[in-house]
Structures are given as C-alpha cells and as structure tokens.
C-alpha cells in the first residue's frame, strides 16, 4: 500500500509525542519488520510504544547497458536489445536512538531498444561503429564508443520499442587495420641467396583506389645472440605504393649494414607499418618479429 510521505511522517511524530512511553518492545528491523512493525506498535494498544520515530525516504536505481556494433556489411537497424532498470526506495527509521534502513522495490522500467543508422555512410571494410546504450530509471543515454563517421544522436520512444537513431554527418579518419599487413614469407632468397622478407597487404586494393596513398614499412634486421642483446644489423623505412606483396631483399642494402652477416648465425626481422594518406590515421602498427633464419656456411 502506498502512503503519502508527509501524512505518514506527521502521524508518526504525533503518535510519538502523545502515546505513553511504557514497556518498550524491541523490533527486529534487520529481519524485515521495519516500518510495518513500528506502525503496528503505534496502533496496537497492547504493544510497546517507541519513544520517538522519524521516517526518511530516498530513491535509487540500477543501470543496465548494451553495446550495439555495426560493421560495413551489417544491416542498418540492429536487433532489439532489452534494457531493465530497477527503482528502489530506501526507507530509514530512527528507533530508540538507532537508525535502521532497508530497500524496497518501487518499480522496474523496461525498454526494448534498437539502434538505426541513417545518413550517407561509406565505411571501410575494417571499420566499425559502436554505441553503448544505457537505461537508468526512465532515462536512456547513448555514448558513441567507436565511429567511422560523426554521428548526431536522436531518440524515438514508441509503445513497443525505443529506437536510437544515429545520423551520419561526415566521414572520420580512423585507425588502420592492425592486421591489414602480415608476414607472407621470410628466409633465403632463391635468386640472390640473401635474406628476404615478404609482407602481404590485405587491403592493397582498397588503398590503391585512392590517389597519393602510400604504405610505410619499417624493417629492423637483427642477429640472435644468446645471453646478450641482439645487435641491429640494418634498419630502414620504406615508403611504397599499395601492393599485394611488399618484398625486401636485404642483400641489396649490404653496404648499409652496421656489421657484416656471419655464417652459422640466426637472423630475424622486427617490423611494423603506417598508412600515409587521407584514408586512415598515420599511427604506427607494430607487426612483431619474424621467426629465426639460420644463415648456413657457404
């Protein structure tokens, strides 16, 4: 039963000052008696009378969130996601100098949420749009976590579902795909007999369609040395046009080596890349290190 707060407080205060303070009975608030037990004491002449009672109420609510993710070939409207927020009332009673509180469920808010993408969108294959939609009490909030475009967020509340609309307002330059370039081969060249690294570009065709797009490859050739730092033999940055495979034959740069290669030693390459142009941000992506290649005796 819902009781008007002002009326309840007035009744309790009036009862506290008018009823005799004889034979007070202990009330177990922690086991759920709480406000109900106090009310019974105030209205039951046979029960003990609390000397003074104050009731305070406050509301709190839980927060429920769902992440909606879109990739280049996904439908423009997401499947619905159910969000639920529980609203609680905290009831506190001061009884015989001590305060006792407990939470009571007032209501549960539910929203069946979908996210719809609108406007002119041209996503690159590796990009994604991510929206974090949250419900707290009756308030729906939206955070753009990751985006290929600038989005203006709107909301439409319907009888069956709550729709978030993200309208694209312009393309953003995003991070390149960190896995867009990978090792194709690493070993001794069949032609030159020297060490050769080949890297394959998954998105060469995409970048190749745009004028002035370049790929920067950084390669560091090292010799493996047990129980010591691996010395750098050669390090260079190569700026290349987009291609399915980038080949680096290290024998062509022998004159730039810090020290000559030693037969019977193992060598490896640490490498990474950047996209240089207007399609992606120019962040350096670390590709890691190749396996070790043994340079045999001649």
Where does the chain hold its CATH 2.60.40.10 domain(s)?
Answer: 181-294
Give the pLDDT band (50/70/90) at residue 21: very low
Please name the helix (run of DSSP H) or strand (run of DSSP E) that holds residue 128, with its range, or none: strand 128-136
Question: Which CATH number describes the domain made up of 181-294?
Answer: 2.60.40.10
The better pLDDT of the pair 176, 23 is held by: 176
Span 109-149, pLDDT tens digits? 999 999 999 999 999 999 999 999 999 999 999 999 999 99
Span 33-91, pLDDT tens digits? 455 555 455 444 444 455 455 565 688 999 999 999 999 999 999 999 999 999 999 88
Question: What local confidence, expressed as pLDDT, does residue 40 receive?
Answer: 55
Question: What local confidence, expressed as pLDDT, does residue 95 receive?
Answer: 81
Long-range contacts, stretch 93-96, CB < 8 angstroms, 24+ apart: 93/29, 93/34, 93/35, 93/38, 93/53, 93/54, 93/55, 94/52, 94/53, 94/54, 95/27, 95/29, 95/38, 95/50, 95/53, 96/24, 96/50, 96/51
Global confidence as pTM: 0.75
What integer is the mean pLDDT of 252-266? 95
Q: What is the CA radius of gyration of the chain?
A: 35
Question: What local confidence, expressed as pLDDT, does residue 15 receive?
Answer: 45
Order of strands across the sheet with 245-249?
181-188, 195-201, 245-249
Mean pLDDT over the full length of the chain: 86
């Amino acid at each position: 039963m819902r009781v008007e707060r002002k009326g309840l407080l007035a009744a309790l205060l009036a009862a506290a000052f008018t009823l005799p303070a004889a034979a007070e009975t202990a009330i177990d608030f922690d086991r759920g008696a709480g406000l109900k037990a106090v009310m019974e004491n105030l209205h039951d002449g046979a029960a003990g009378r609390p000397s003074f009672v104050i009731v305070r109420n406050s509301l709190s609510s839980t927060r429920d969130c769902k992440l909606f993710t879109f990739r280049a070939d996904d439908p423009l409207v997401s499947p619905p996601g159910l969000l639920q927020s529980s609203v609680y009332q905290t009831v506190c009673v001061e009884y015989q100098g001590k305060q006792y509180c407990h939470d009571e469920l007032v209501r549960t808010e539910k929203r069946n949420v979908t996210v719809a993408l609108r406007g002119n969108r041209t996503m690159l294959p590796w990009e994604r749009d991510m929206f974090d939609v949250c419900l707290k009490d009756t308030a729906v909030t939206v955070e753009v976590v990751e985006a290929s475009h600038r989005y203006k967020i709107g909301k439409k509340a319907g009888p069956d579902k709550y729709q978030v609309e993200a309208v694209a307002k312009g393309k953003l330059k995003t991070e390149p795909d960190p896995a867009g370039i990978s090792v194709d081969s690493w070993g001794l060249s069949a032609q030159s007999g020297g060490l050769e690294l080949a890297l394959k570009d998954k998105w060469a065709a995409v970048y190749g369609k745009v004028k002035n797009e370049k790929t920067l490859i950084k390669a560091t050739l090292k010799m493996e040395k047990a129980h010591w730092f691996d010395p750098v033999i050669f390090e260079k940055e190569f700026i290349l046009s987009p291609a399915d495979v980038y080949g680096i034959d290290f024998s062509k740069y022998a004159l730039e080596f810090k020290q000559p290669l030693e037969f019977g030693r193992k060598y490896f390459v640490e490498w990474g890349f950047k996209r240089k142009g207007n399609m992606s941000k120019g962040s350096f992506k670390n590709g890691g290190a190749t396996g070790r290649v043994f340079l045999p005796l001649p």
